[in-house]
Amino acid sequence: MTTIYLLSLGILAFVLKTGLGTRELNRRRFTLPLAIVAVVGALYLRSIPTSTGDIKLITVTGAAGVLLGLVAGALMKVRVTEDGSLVTVAGTSYAAVWIAAIGSRLLFAYGASHWFAPEVASFSRNAGIDSSAAYTAAFVIMALAMVLTRVAVTAFRTVQVSGDIPWHEHRAAAGLRRGPAHLHHHHAH
């Protein structure tokens, strides 16, 4: 369970550090979370329990991650600045969603080991959940689904605001800009 604590706190720190406030929206804002999801998935999801109960648990927590990612994404606005750059804006509501989601996972993980272990064991038996590995996989998938969904919502909003895909090549060098690239070049006099 230490893995879940560290992973959860790491994701929370990353999300709050890179998402809160007004932040420049550039290619890295899309690729870095995707790279982190790929690495975390490769490290922590090498083998996913496959009993029927395990799959149901993983499916429910994955769906919860998607729903929480939709909420977080809705709370992160994409705006065009005066110079045509794109930025994201996220405040306390955005932070509260992430803190509540990750905090409740941490509380459950701790409580399952310390406060209500017999109840979790009984529930697991009745639901056909075979091992604690199913809970670890479920919580990792929930966190990754939340991150991926938030990134997808931000990409969708970027396309709505800019009329272009956020990682289009002509925008990579100077960050993302709205409108034709030639309108944003600065000429030396």
pLDDT by residue (tens digit) across 83-142? 889 999 999 999 999 999 999 989 998 998 889 999 999 999 999 998 888 998 998 899
Per-residue pLDDT, 174: 40
- Which H or E run includes 72? helix 52-74
Instruction: Judge whether 187 lies within some domain.
Output: no
Residue 28 within a domain: yes
Domain span at residue 39 reads 2-169
Number of domains in the chain: 1
Nearest to 24 by CA among 93, 105, 79: 79
For residue 181, being part of any structural domain is answered with no
Q: 162-181: per-residue pLDDT in tens?
A: 876 554 444 443 455 444 44
Sheet holding 86-90, edge to edge: 21-24, 86-90, 77-80
**Number of C-beta neighbours around residue 1 at 10 A:** 15
Domain-located, residue 111? yes
pTM: 0.82
The candidate with the shortest Cα–Cα distance to 152, out of 43, 44, 40, 33, is 33
Considering the domain boundaries, does residue 186 fall inside one?
no
Q: Is position 174 within any domain?
A: no
- The Cα 82–Cα 1 span in angstroms is 47
Per the domain annotation, does 16 fall within a domain? Answer: yes
